Structure 1
Amino acid sequence: MADRVMVSSVCWVPRGRSAQFPTSCIMEDQEVSELLQQQSEEASKSSSKKEQRKKQQKLLRQQAVAEDEESEAEDSESEMQEDDESDDDGMLEGVFGVFASDGAAALGEGAARLSAADEAEEDEANIILDSDLVLVAASTESDFSSLEVYIHDVQRGSLYVHHDLMCGGFPLCLEWLGMMPGAQNRNLVAVGSFEPLIQIWDLDILDSLEPVYTLGLQQQPQRESGRKRKSKKADRQITSPNAHEGPIMSLCVSPLKQEALASASADETAKVWDLTTGSCLATYKHHTNKVQVALWHPSEASLLATASFDRTIRLLDVRQPDVAVSAEDGSMECLDLRRASAGPPSAAAVSSAKAAAAPRLWRVAAHTAAATSLQQQQELPNLLVSCGLDETARVWDLRQVNTDTQGPVLIHEKDLKVGPLFSCRASEERGIFGFGGSQVVIWDLGDTEHIAKAFNL
C-alpha cells in the first residue's frame, strides 16, 4: 500500500514578490562532500533515513550535472581541434560530400531550431508572472518532507508545482516572510516543525538543500541566495538558550511590523522574534500546556493572542509582561482576531473568571470533527470559511448572525475529496482559498453560483 501524502500547512506568497526566474543553487565540490558526510552522520542517528538518502541522491545528481557540463566543454574543444586537422581533406569532401554536408547542415539547423524551441518552452513554463498566485505547501510522504511551490493561473484555472525544496523534519506550520537578518525585500518562508528551531527558506532558489537562516541557533553560516557558500567545518548547530525547547506549532508575522515574528510551541511558551537581528525579543510563559496558536491583531501592533491545550485564550500586550485578557471556555483549534474590538487593555490583567463571565457573541458547532482553520478576506468581511478533520470546507454568512440560533448561517458545505483538511489560507484574489489535505486544493468560491450571488464574486 502506498504511503499517504499529508499537506499539513499552506501559505500564499504576496503577488509580485516571487522572482520571475528563480536561480539555481550553486554548490562547490567540497561543500557537496561535507554535506554528504554530515547527512550520513545524521542518518545514523535519525529514523528518517529515507529522506537522507533522497538528499544524497539529489546532491549526487547536482555533482553529475556539473561533471557533464565539464565533459561537454572538453568534447567541444576536442571537436574544434579535429576540424582544424581536417582542412586538408576539403577538396575530397567537396567532391564526394556535397549531399552529405547538405544533409548534415539541414539536420544541424533543425536540431538548433528544436533546441531553441525547447528552451523557449521551458523558459515559458518556468517563468512566474506577477499575475500568478503562488502557494507554498508543506507536504509529507512517509519520512520525506518538502516545501512545494505551486503556481495557480487564475485565468486558465491551472495549478501545478513549479519547484520543491526538501525541508528536513515534519513541517507543522508555514509563514511567508519578506525579510531576514541582513536581507530586505526577499521571498522567504518560515517553517516550524517537530524540531525546536525555525527554519527560513528562500523560495527563489531552486534545489536548495539548506535553509538560508535558522532562528534559535547561536551561530549562523553566512550565505547569499544563489551564490557559493564558503565551506566551514566549524559551522555547527549550536542552539541558543533563547530557542524553543519543543515543536513549533504556529508562526505569525505581524501585518503592521514585518520584522516581528511570533511563534507558539509545545514547550508551553510563545516567543516574539526580531527578523532584523534574528534574536528572541520576549518569551511568554502564561500557558500551562502546549501553545497551538499565535496571532497578531490586524490593527493594534502590540496585541498578540495565543491559544493553548490548557483550554485558554490569552490576549497579550507585548509591551507589558502581564496577560491583558484570559478566557477559559473550551478547547481551541483555531483563532481569528480580526473581529475583536481594538480598545486599550486595562492596566491590570483581567481575571480568568471575569473574562469567562463576559457575554459570548456567538458559538456554533461548525464541524463534526475538529475545526482546523478559520479564514476571512479583508474585502469580504462578512464571509467566513472554515475547514476541519471531517473532510469538509464550509462557508458562513456573518451578516446573518443570530445568537438564538447559535451563530452565523451556513450557506455552503463542500467535500473537497482530499480527506481530512489540516490548513486553509485566503489568497489576495477575491473568493479564492487554498487548502491542504492529502493534496493541495484551490477553491474559487465564485464558481459556486449562490455564493457568488450572495457576495458579488
Structure 2
Amino acid sequence: MSSMITTTTWIRRGVAAQFPTKYEIDEEEMERISKLARQQLEEAQEDLDEAKQKEKREEEEDVDAMDEDEKTDETRKEDKTTTEIDDDLKEYDLEHYDDDEDEEGGKSILFGNVKSLAYYKPGEKDPYLELPEGQEEDEEREELQILPTDNLLVAGKVEDEVAHLEVYVYEDSEDNLYVHHDIMLPAIPLCIEWLDIPVGRGSEGRETGNFVAVGTMEPDIEIWDLDIVDCLYPNAILGQGGEENENESSSKSDKKKKKKKSSKKANDNYHVDAVLALAANRQHRNLLASASADRTVKLWDLTTTKCAKSYTHHTDKVCALDWHPKESTVLLSGSYDRTVVAADMRAPEAQGARWAVSSDVENLRWDVHDPNFFYVTTDNGMVYRYDVRNAPSTPSASKALWTLQAHDSSVSAFDINPVIPGFIVTGSTDKQVKLWNIQDDKPSMIVSRKPDVGKIFSATFAPDPEVSFRLAVAGSKGVVQVWDTSTNGAVRRTFASRLPAVADEANIQERTVQANDDSSDSSDGEEPEEEGGDGDQGWESMDED
C-alpha cells in the first residue's frame, strides 16, 4: 500500500469546537449537493461515453482481424465448458442446492436447532444489540470531543491514489496523536492554509470559525469546516467550479458549450492549473492569496468567494507565498523562474522588489521575530536570508545577508519557530531534518536527524508557547511524527534561555509520537549526524526506506 503526506499545518489550541457536530443534510444542503453531483455526473458520463466509443471501435477492429479458425476454436472451447458444467450439476445435484425442503418435503433442515434461539418480533428491541436511549449519542459525542489543551494537525495525504485530509488530535500531556476524522478530496493535496473566518454555507452571523483552504492538482480551491465531521462537500469552492455551481440557470447545452470552450489560458477570475501555495492574511481576515502553476497569484475575497485581483509577477510556476507580519498588504512570492518578489497588493501594476536565487524556489518565509528579513530555500539545498530594506536594483545584483548549504538535495520543508527566536528547521528529500540556530546571523546546526517518514515534504513547529518545541514531520512514507525537540540535550542548552518555561533536563528521554503508534524511535545502529552541535547520548537514528 503506497501513501505519502504532501503538506501539513498546525491549528492552535482552543479554536476547534469542543464537540464537533455530525454532518446533517437538510433540504437546502441536499439541493446544493445534487447540483454538484449532477455536474460531476454529467462530466463523468461524457468521459465514459467517449471511452466506450473508443473501446467499441477497437473491439470491432479486433473482431474483423480474427481468422475463421480462431473463431471455430473458441466455439469448441465454449461447448466443452458447457458440457463440463452440466456433468458437475448432475454429479453433485447442484440444481437442487438451494431447495429449502428436505427429502420428505418437510421443513428446512438448515436451522435444525432454531427452537433454542431467542428472536424478537418486528418493533421489539434486542437488549444485546441496542443501547439504552441516549447512551449511544453520549458515547459518540465523547469520542469526538476535543479538549482546549489539544492541538489539531491537518495533513494532506494520498493513499493508493485516493486523496484526503487527515485531521489529527495531538494530546501533548498523553504523548498521543490520532486521526479524529478525514475529508475526501478530488485530487492530490499540495497546500493547506488554516482560516479563522467562516466561509460559505452556514457562515451567516458567525465571526470566527475553524476552516481550512486546500489547494490540489485541480485549479479550484476547496474550503472545509473542520468542526463538522463526515462532511460530503466543501463549504465553498474558489474558482471556476464555484462559479459553475452558482450558475445553475444555464441549460445543459450551454454547459456543454462552456465546457468545450474552456481553455488552459490564464485569466483574472480563476486559476486554470494546480494550486501550489496558499496564504491567509491575518490582519485582513477576508483575504486569501493563492499561487498556481498557471504563473499567476490571485487574491480572493472570502466574504464573496470571488477573485478580487490577479497578478503576473512571475514567468514560471509560482510555488510559495507569505504575507508580511506587519505590513499587511505586502506579499512575498517565489517561483520556478528563480526569483522572489515582494510587492504591495494594492498596486497590481507595480512589479515590486525582486531577488534572484541560484535554483527553483521551494519555500519562503518572513522572519516573524524581525520582519525586516526573510528566508528562501531552493531546489539545490540552499537557504538564503535577505534584508528587505536592501532591495537590489536588478535581480542579478541580489546579495543575501548569508547563504547556507543546508542539504545536498532540495530543501523541501522549512519553518521558523514562532515562539523561540533564532530557531529554524529544514527538511529535505535526502530524508533528513536539521535544527539550526541562526542567532546573530551566524547559522550553526544543532542536530540532524533522519526520521522514519521517507523524503521530507513538511516540517512545522507547533504554534502555542506550551508546545513550542514540538515539531511535526511528514513525508513520502505517509506517516506523521511529532518530535519533542526539547528532549534533545543540545537543543535545550541552546534555546532554554530564550523560553521562560522549559522541561527539566534530568532524566529526559528522546520523545517522538506517531499516529497510532505508542513506540519511540527505532534504531538501526547507525550514529546520527550531529555536525555543529552535541546531541544527547540517547539519540537514535531512523531506518531509511
Q: Shorter-normalised TM-score: what interval? A: 0.7 to 0.9
Which structure has the higher relative contact order (CA within 8 Å, separation 6+)? 1
Query: Match of 2:393?
Result: 351
The answer to whether the 8 Å contact 2:423/2:438 transfers is yes
1:426 corresponds to 2:464: no
Of stretches 240-249 and 134-143 in structure 1, the one that deviates more from structure 2 is 240-249
1:397 offset after TM fit, Å?
Answer: 0.4
**Could you say if the C-alpha distance between residues 345 and 452 of structure 1 is closer, same or farther in structure 2, counting changes exceeding 3 Å?**
closer
- State the superposition RMSD in angstroms: 3.3
Summarize the alignment of residues 288-299 of structure 1 with structure 2, pairs less than 5 Å apart: 288-299=315-326
Query: Match of 1:63?
Result: none
Query: Once the two structures are superposed, what CA deviation does each residue of 1:383-419 show, in whole Å capped at 9, x if it has no partner?
Result: 00111111111100012643xxxxx100111111010
Which one-letter code corresponds to 2:372 in the other structure? S
What SS does the aligned partner of 1:335 have?
strand
**Could you say if the C-alpha distance between residues 266 and 232 of structure 1 is closer, same or farther in structure 2, counting changes exceeding 3 Å?**
same
1:36 offset after TM fit, Å?
Answer: 6.4
1:336 offset after TM fit, Å?
Answer: 1.5
Whichever of the two has the greater Rg, that structure is 2
1:323 offset after TM fit, Å?
Answer: 2.1
Taking the aligned partners of 2:224 and 2:145, their CA distance within structure 1 comes to 20
**Could you say if the C-alpha distance between residues 288 and 35 of structure 1 is closer, same or farther in structure 2, counting changes exceeding 3 Å?**
closer
Task: Pick one of 168, 173, 184 that aligns with 1:166.
Answer: 184
Summarize the alignment of residues 50-199 of structure 1 with structure 2, pairs less than 5 Å apart: 78-79=123-124, 121-179=139-197, 180-181=199-200, 182-183=203-204, 184-199=207-222
Taking the aligned partners of 1:366 and 1:113, their CA distance within structure 2 comes to 58
Query: Once the two structures are superposed, what CA deviation does each residue of 1:413-433 show, in whole Å capped at 9, x if it has no partner?
Result: 111101011122221221112
Taking the aligned partners of 2:46 and 2:483, their CA distance within structure 1 comes to 41
1:389 corresponds to 2:429: yes
Query: Match of 2:243?
Result: 219
1:246 corresponds to 2:273: yes
Taking the aligned partners of 1:327 and 1:210, their CA distance within structure 2 comes to 40
1:245 offset after TM fit, Å?
Answer: 1.4
What SS does the aligned partner of 1:364 have?
strand
Query: Match of 1:270?
Result: 297
Which one-letter code corresponds to 1:334 in the other structure? N
Identity %: 33
Task: Pick one of 383, 408, 411 that aligns with 1:371.
Answer: 411
Query: Once the two structures are superposed, what CA deviation does each residue of 1:257-310 show, in whole Å capped at 9, x if it has no partner?
Result: 211111110001111111122222211112110001111111111110111001
The answer to whether the 8 Å contact 1:135/1:151 transfers is yes
**Could you say if the C-alpha distance between residues 25 and 121 of structure 1 is closer, same or farther in structure 2, counting changes exceeding 3 Å?**
closer
**Could you say if the C-alpha distance between residues 40 and 358 of structure 1 is closer, same or farther in structure 2, counting changes exceeding 3 Å?**
closer
The answer to whether the 8 Å contact 2:36/2:245 transfers is no
Of stretches 301-310 and 9-18 in structure 1, the one that deviates more from structure 2 is 9-18
Taking the aligned partners of 1:264 and 1:37, their CA distance within structure 2 comes to 29
How many pairs were matched up? 384
Query: Match of 2:13?
Result: 15
Query: Once the two structures are superposed, what CA deviation does each residue of 1:154-177 show, in whole Å capped at 9, x if it has no partner?
Result: 100100000011111111100011
Taking the aligned partners of 2:451 and 2:213, their CA distance within structure 1 comes to 27
1:329 corresponds to 2:357: yes
What SS does the aligned partner of 1:369 have?
coil
Query: Match of 1:258?
Result: 285
The answer to whether the 8 Å contact 1:369/1:388 transfers is yes
What SS does the aligned partner of 2:439 have?
strand
The answer to whether the 8 Å contact 1:24/1:206 transfers is yes
Of stretches 420-429 and 280-289 in structure 1, the one that deviates more from structure 2 is 420-429
Taking the aligned partners of 2:270 and 2:399, their CA distance within structure 1 comes to 38
Taking the aligned partners of 1:10 and 1:245, their CA distance within structure 2 comes to 24
Taking the aligned partners of 2:35 and 2:335, their CA distance within structure 1 comes to 41
Query: Match of 1:444?
Result: 484
Query: Once the two structures are superposed, what CA deviation does each residue of 1:315-360 show, in whole Å capped at 9, x if it has no partner?
Result: 10112231221111222111111244189989xx96324xx42432
**Could you say if the C-alpha distance between residues 126 and 233 of structure 1 is closer, same or farther in structure 2, counting changes exceeding 3 Å?**
farther
The answer to whether the 8 Å contact 1:133/1:152 transfers is yes
1:308 corresponds to 2:343: no
What SS does the aligned partner of 1:454 have?
helix
The answer to whether the 8 Å contact 1:201/1:213 transfers is yes
What SS does the aligned partner of 1:252 have?
strand
The answer to whether the 8 Å contact 1:376/1:385 transfers is yes
Taking structure 1 as the reference length, what is the TM-score of the superposition? 0.75
1:452 offset after TM fit, Å?
Answer: 2.1
